[in-house]
């Protein structure tokens, strides 16, 4: 097939990707948008298969390609069908890792193939112009940082080897800067002496160490930022591989994804009122903020309640808002929460869900969990929409959330979370907090909400507590 037709196919694929992402701007068009994106990918893959060089690779060459596609599809498909919705952050971290690694490997392949098939415009080593070499180095660095960074994020989310808390040590930032400089230095060597392909592997090794060191100081609750940022990296890695291969499609697509990741990173940082640098160095754990004595905040003022008592409260309520947090995902209580809401709605109560932008471990995580439990999406309210309504809310039920409902963000300028936008649950008539204990959230500070006059603590596992609450409410309804 002629290069013109292939390039036109690539252009078509790029347009389909853009239309696909645009489809994601509304839940009604989102499924179709995703299918458009997938169609774009299919067009790109088929066009590449028909490329004279790929097609000319012979039966053996095509066989290898088809084998790779089949193997990857089998693994990817299995993962996609098996993964639990609560584990979606891990899934995205995993996919990010693979995307980053693939870019680093492609750049490595092109470099190793020096003077090979004339993959890069015009055959031979001379074809590796300076900008191609620079792009190769960039792919190597970003690709390896993305791969290892995502694996560390994955591990932290799973809680396998690394602690959820930030891992920091003296001189960490200095070491990172030095590693970055070494990577750039090795890259400069490669650009000056393209025949020294070893320099590329040095770049990848240093990038790998850097990826690990950059991600270990990021704490669990900051994971939404880390995942969004790694998402941006995987896009930028693909774009720089596009520069290596002189391929428009990779450049366009990579920059789309890069932009998406960067926007999400910004949104997440704003939702925590912290700068990106602050998140990346894990600064919230630094002990420079004054320690607030939890006993002084809670002493004698925390009211413990029971499922029956809350059921009585709910019986007379007309509007109830449910605030989910990471604890809901941990105890997988989304279906039980939905059941409670159904019972309440059956009694004529208006039920809505208030979703904080950084609730959970990745952007939008709570929405997916509640959608899985068949909660209609028009009941999932964003922070800015729901905040003015807390004043007219009879009962707010907070499940497994802490820092995102901590009023000291509003009231105490010396608090580590001062200025962070929060859900104003304390403004509702009553607040019921379902939580295992009074232990602090990620910010490590006590929450004055728990000791507020209108607050009731329902201690226990999220799922169990909601089940008991629903049962108590049903009993009350019958009796």
Contact 443, 406 (CB under 8 A): yes
Q: Which is nearer to another protein, 257 or 310 (CB)?
A: 257
Q: 332 with 436: CB under 8 angstroms?
A: no
Give dist(CA 335, CA 326) in Å, integer: 15
Q: Which CB, 369 or 425, lies closer to another protein?
A: 369
Provide the b/e sequence for 282-319 (b: ≥16 CB within 10 Å).
bbbbeeebeebebeebbeeebeebebebbbebbeebeb
Question: Distances from the Cα of 323 to the Cαs of 166, 246, 315, in angstroms?
Answer: 26, 49, 19
DSSP 253-273: HHHHHHHHHHHHHHHHHHHTT
CB of 184 to another protein, least distance (A): 19
Rounded-to-integer distance, Cα 6 and Cα 12, Å: 10
Distance CA(84)–CA(144), nearest Å, equals 27
Tell me how far, at minimum, the Cβ of 21 lies from another protein, in Å.
5
Distance CA 405, CA 43 (A): 47
C-beta of 254 vs 460, nearer to another protein: 254
Query: Which ranges constitute the DSSP H helices of 117-193?
Result: 130-158, 172-192
Grouping H, G, I as helix, E, B as strand and the rest as coil, residue 220 is: helix
Is-contact 447 411, C-beta < 8 A? no
- 399 and 322 Cβ atoms separated by less than 8 Å: yes
CB of 64 to another protein, least distance (A): 6
* Least gap, CB of 253 to another protein (angstroms): 4
103 or 305: whose CB is closer to another protein?
103
| Closest to another protein by CB, 30 or 467 | 30
Catalytic residue ranges: 403
Minimum distance of another protein from residue 165's CB (angstroms): 24
**Which is closer to another protein, CB of 359 or CB of 451?**
359
Q: Which is nearer to another protein, 270 or 303 (CB)?
A: 270
Q: How far is CA 208 from CA 104, 154, 162, 180, 357, in A?
A: 11, 15, 17, 11, 30
Residue 372 beta carbon to another protein: minimum distance, rounded to whole angstroms = 5
Answer whether 41's CB lies under 8 Å from 52's CB: no
Closest CA to 324 of 285, 269, 270, 379: 379
């Amino acid at each position: 097939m002629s290069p013109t037709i292939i390039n036109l196919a690539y252009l078509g694929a790029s347009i389909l990707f853009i239309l696909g992402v645009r489809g994601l701007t509304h839940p009604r068009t989102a499924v179709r948008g995703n299918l458009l994106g997938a169609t774009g990918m299919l067009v790109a893959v088929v066009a590449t298969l028909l490329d004279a060089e790929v097609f000319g690779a012979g039966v053996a060459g095509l066989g290898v390609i088809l084998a790779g596609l089949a193997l990857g599809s089998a693994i990817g498909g299995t993962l996609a069908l098996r993964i639990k919705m609560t584990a979606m952050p891990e899934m995205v971290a995993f996919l990010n890792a693979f995307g980053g690694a693939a870019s680093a490997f492609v750049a490595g392949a092109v470099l190793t193939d020096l003077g090979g098939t004339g993959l890069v415009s015009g055959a031979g080593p001379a074809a590796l112009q300076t900008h191609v070499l620079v792009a190769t180095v960039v792919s190597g660095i970003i690709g390896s940082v993305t791969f290892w960074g995502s694996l560390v994020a994955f591990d932290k989310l799973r809680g396998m080897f690394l602690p959820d808390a930030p891992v920091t040590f003296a001189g960490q930032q200095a070491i990172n800067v030095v590693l970055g400089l070494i990577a750039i230095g090795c890259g400069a060597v490669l650009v000056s002496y393209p025949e020294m392909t070893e320099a590329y592997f040095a770049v990848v090794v240093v990038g790998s160490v850097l990826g690990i060191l950059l991600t270990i100081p990021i704490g669990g609750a900051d994971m939404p930022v880390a995942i969004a940022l790694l998402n941006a990296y995987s896009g930028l890695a693909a774009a720089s591989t596009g520069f290596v291969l002189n391929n428009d499609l990779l450049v366009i697509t990579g920059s789309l994804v890069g932009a998406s990741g960067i926007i999400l990173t910004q949104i997440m940082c704003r939702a925590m009122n912290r700068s990106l640098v602050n998140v990346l160095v894990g600064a919230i754990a630094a002990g420079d903020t004054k320690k607030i004595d939890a006993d002084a905040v809670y002493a004698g003022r925390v009211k413990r309640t029971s499922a029956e008592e809350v059921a009585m409260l709910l019986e007379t309520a007309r509007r109830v808002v449910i605030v989910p947090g990471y604890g809901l995902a941990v105890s997988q209580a989304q279906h039980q929460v939905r059941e409670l809401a159904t019972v309440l709605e059956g009694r004529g109560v208006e039920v809505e869900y208030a979703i904080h932008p950084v609730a959970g471990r990745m952007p939008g995580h709570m929405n997916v969990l509640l959608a899985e439990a068949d909660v209609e999406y028009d009941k999932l309210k964003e922070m800015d929409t729901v905040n003015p309504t807390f004043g007219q809310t009879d009962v707010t039920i907070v499940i497994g959330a802490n820092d995102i409902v901590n009023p000291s963000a509003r009231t105490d300028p010396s608090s580590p979370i001062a200025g962070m936008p929060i859900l104003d649950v304390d403004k509702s008539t009553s607040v019921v907090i379902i939580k295992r204990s009074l232990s602090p959230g990620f910010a490590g500070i006590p929450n004055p909400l728990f000791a507020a006059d209108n607050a009731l603590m329902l201690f226990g596992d999220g799922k169990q507590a909601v089940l008991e609450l629903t049962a108590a409410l049903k009993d009350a309804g019958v009796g």
